[in-house]
Amino acid sequence: MIELKNKSLISITDYSKEEILHVLDIAEDFEKNHRQRLLDNHVIASLFFEPSTRTRLSFESAVQYLGGSIIGFANADTSSVRKGESLKDTILTVSNYSDLIIMRNPLDGSARFASEVSPVPIINAGDGANQHPTQCLLDLYSIRKTQGSLENIHIALVGDLKYGRTVHSLVQALSLFNATFHLVSPESLKLPSAVKRWIKDAGLEYHQYTELTDVIPFSDIIYMTRIQGERFPDPVEYEKVKNSYILENKMLSASKENLRILHPLPRVNEISEDVDNNPKAYYFQQAKNGVYVRQALIAAILGLKD
Amino acid sequence: MNNKRTELQVSAIKNGTVIDHIASENTFRVFQILNLEHIKEQVYLGTNLESKKLGKKGIIKISGKFFDPEEINKIALVAPHATLIEIKDYEVTKKEKINLPESIDKIVKCMNPKCVTNNQDVPTKFKLITDHHGKTKLSCHYCEKTMAQEDIWFL
Ligand SMILES: [Zn+2]
């Protein structure tokens, strides 16, 4: 029996393989019918200490489809934080008014700290450069949905593998499912050795490439990420690589039938718009899956669905 | 015989603690992190001493001072191979190799400026991990960043 009641989600590694699969199973039920009023008379706090419209709307949509009410703020400027209130005090106050807190905060580790002081469970909606576990869950949901299973997939991770936190979480999570990792990035944005270590520790394989075209023929999933110019200490270096990781429709002609393209969004130019109409493009559906996964997580943590 | 010689070497103080087998280059760092410059009692510091185990070693003898676990953890981080010897009335009453604890609470600063512990009133907490080169690293319980032993800043 898997029990997620009152279990905060701060890092994807807080949940076991079975717990992750349990959330994905519940999400499948919400995909069939997302209007389930399980949160009648429940109040959910949505505390965004920094703006992230996309993530906030996805969470708020999940709460609304569940029939719950939302309190909170969309950025720290309009809140008591601006008057210098400590994070601890804000959390303790808001926990008096709500059953669960969804928090986005620019400080690394703030979500872990909040979960230690809060009497109600916390869902981390992004703590600085550290973790964003619901993004990881929706990525996993999308992979399972399109491939039929999370086991044994060949995934190509493309772009900024050094700073991209979604990539790091995804590597950690997929290491539970016997994945093979194909890492495509410029030399200066390679996957950190600590993250490669997780792959090795799980007894799995990774391969590194500098050319996107190399991985297209055999990948089940291509996970594209944005390369940000400000990550490069040398602007000349950025100019050299910025256009070498753009996926175009014509490149997909030699790909596998089951290949799907994922992207955490927003994209800039790393997936050319002519890919959008290819049935292998899955990134907008992926974002939609985020609502079902967040519904599942909220319902499970409040003990309203198992 | 051998035992007697060890005793002789360390019994220059009547009551207190000897930190032995410090890697020579870390001797002054140990002195510094324990704030020994403020101590009123006698302190002896030796460095570049012959050592079979370390080649060159450092040793610090402090009169009238016994360390609490938090201070011992600090020593462990800076001088992982050190031996701690407690002396009472010229006798060795305790002698133990210092072991690194599993977690380090409150004494070390996280080097990530964006870590919640550097921006809110949150005590630091680290897990000790070993990287693939066998080196000890500290992993922040909050921001999950890791730092090398030589990057440690004490609070
Ligand atoms: Zn930290």
Is residue B67 within 8 Å of residue B19, measured between CB atoms? no
C-beta atoms of A108 and B121 within 8 A: no
Residues A235 and A262 in one domain: yes
Question: b/e string for B115-129 if b means 16 or more Cβ within 10 A?
Answer: bbbbbbebebbbebe
A223 occurs within a structural domain: yes
- What CATH number should be reported for the domain holding residue A270? 3.40.50.1370
Q: How many residues does chain A have?
A: 306
B24 vs A: CB within 8 A: no
pLDDT score of B3 more than 70: no
| Rounded distance from Cα B117 to ligand 1 centre (Å) | 6
Lowest mean pLDDT among A21-30, A63-72, B5-14, B132-141: B5-14
Least Cα distance to B116 among B151, B140, B138, B152 occurs for B140
Map residue A234 onto helix, strand or coil.
coil
Whole-angstrom distance, CA of residue A183 vs CA of residue A185:
6
Residue A5 lies in a domain: no
pTM of the model: 0.90
H-run or E-run covering B19:
strand B16-23
The mean-pLDDT minimum among A52-56, A151-155, B75-79 falls in B75-79
Question: Which DSSP letter does residue B69 get?
Answer: H
- How many A from CA of B145 to the centre of ligand 1? 6
Which pLDDT belongs to residue B87? 93
Average pLDDT of the residues of chain B: 88
Q: What CATH topology corresponds to B16-97?
A: Alpha-Beta Plaits (3.30.70)
Instruction: Name the token pair of A119.
Output: 């009497």
Distance from residue A109's CA to the centre of ligand 1 (Å):
7
Q: Is pLDDT of A113 > 50?
A: yes
Residue A32 contacts residue A292 (beta carbons within 8 Å) = no
Give alpha helix (H) positions in A43-132.
Answer: 53-65, 87-95, 110-117
Q: What is the mean pLDDT of residues A154-168?
A: 94
Nearest residue of chain B to residue A112 (CA atoms): B142
Q: Count contacts between A and B (CB, < 8 Å).
A: 53
Which residue of chain A has the CA closest to B140?
A109
CA–CA separation, B13 and B43 (whole Å): 9
- The angle subtended at Cα B59 by Cα B55 and Cα B63, nearest 5°, is 170
For residue A250 the two structure tokens come to 């014509």
pLDDT bracket for residue B1 (50, 70, 90): very low
User: Span A123-127, mean pLDDT?
Assistant: 97
Q: Of A107, A130, A193, which has the smallest distance from its Cβ to B119's Cβ?
A: A107
ipTM above 0.95, yes or no: no
Sort A305 into a burial class: Cβ within 10 Å, 0-12 / 13-18 / 19+. middle
The SS3 assignment for A261 reads strand
Helix (H, G, I), strand (E, B), or coil: what is residue B140? strand
**What is the pLDDT at residue B4?**
53
The number of angstroms, rounded, from the C-alpha of A15 to the middle of its chain's C-alpha atoms is: 14
The domain segmentation of chain B, as residue ranges, is: 16-97, 103-154
Beta-carbon neighbour count of residue B68 at 10 Å?
7
Tens of pLDDT, residue by residue over B101-141, are 889 999 999 999 999 999 999 999 999 988 878 888 999 99
**pLDDT for the residue B5:** 52
Question: Does residue A272 sit within a domain?
Answer: yes
Higher pLDDT, B133 or B24: B24
What is the pLDDT confidence band of residue B48, given thresholds at 50, 70 and 90? very high
Q: How many domains does chain A have?
A: 2
User: A113 is in which domain, residue-wise?
Assistant: 12-131+290-301
- Say what the pLDDT of residue B135 is: 84
Tell me which residue of B116, B139, B103, B108 sits closest to A114, measured CA to CA. B116
Please answer whether residues A223 and A194 qualify as being in contact, where contact means their C-beta atoms are separated by less than 8 angstroms: no
Q: Which of B110, B114, B126 to mutate to test the interface with A (most CBs of A within 10 A)?
A: B114
Same domain for A82 and A16, yes or no, is: yes
**Looking at the predicted structure, is the pLDDT value of residue A25 above 50?**
yes
pLDDT tens for each residue of A222-238: 999 998 877 777 888 88
Mean pLDDT in residue range A137-141: 98
Instruction: List CB-based neighbours of ion ligand 1 within 5 Å.
Output: B 110, 112, 115, 140, 142-143
Helix ranges, chain A (H)? 17-32, 53-65, 87-95, 110-117, 133-147, 165-174, 193-201, 235-241, 283-301
Flag whether pLDDT at B146 surpasses 80.
Answer: yes
- How far apart CA B76 and CA B99 sit, in angstroms, is 6
C-alpha to C-alpha distance for A201 and A172, rounded to whole angstroms: 11
The reply to whether A254 and A205 lie within a common domain is yes
B116/A197 touch (CB, cutoff 8 Å), yes or no = no
Residue type, A247: L
Which whole number is the average pLDDT over A132-141? Answer: 98
Task: Pick B103-154's CATH classification: 3.30.565.10, 2.30.30.20, 2.60.120.10, 3.90.226.30.
Answer: 2.30.30.20
Is A123 in contact with A134 (CB distance < 8 Å)? yes
Q: What residues are paired with B85 via a beta bridge?
A: B18, B95
Residues of chain A found within 8 Å of residue B122, distances taken between Cβ atoms: 109, 113
Classify residue A93 by its DSSP letter: H
